[in-house]
Amino acid sequence: MYIHLGERISIHDSTVIGVFDLENTTVGQDTRAVLGRLEKEGRVVNVSAEMPKSFVICMEPDGEKAYISSISAATLRKRAGTMF
């Protein structure tokens, strides 16, 4: 099953590690460290030009990748169905 993240980007649900609310989770030091590392490695994809609300971390064949989305984490979790 695929999860639509916005614009023309969809990801396979089997690659998803987690779906996170951007406002609440970036307060934590560990989350900031993970996003910072992925950004330095060029592994962050901004899916929309609108205000970001969530991010999804995926394990892809070439490593972890974070997708920043303007769709809320709750909506993305509903799209994923029973996965979460």
pLDDT of residue 48: 87
Confidence grade of residue 82 (pLDDT, cut at 50, 70, 90): low
Q: Which residue has the tokens 């614009």?
A: 7
Amino acid symbol at 15: T
In Å, the largest CA–CA distance within the chain is: 33
Closest CA relative to residue 72, chosen from 59, 56, 57: 56
Confidence grade of residue 83 (pLDDT, cut at 50, 70, 90): low
pLDDT at residue 18 is higher than 80: yes
Q: Where are the domains of the chain?
A: 2-83
Surface-to-core class of residue 66, CB atoms within 10 Å of its CB (0-12 exposed, 13-18 middle, 19+ buried): buried
pLDDT tens-digit profile of 21-77? 988 887 788 988 999 999 999 999 999 889 999 999 999 999 999 999 999 999 998
Within 10 A of 42 (CB to CB), how many other CB atoms are there?
8
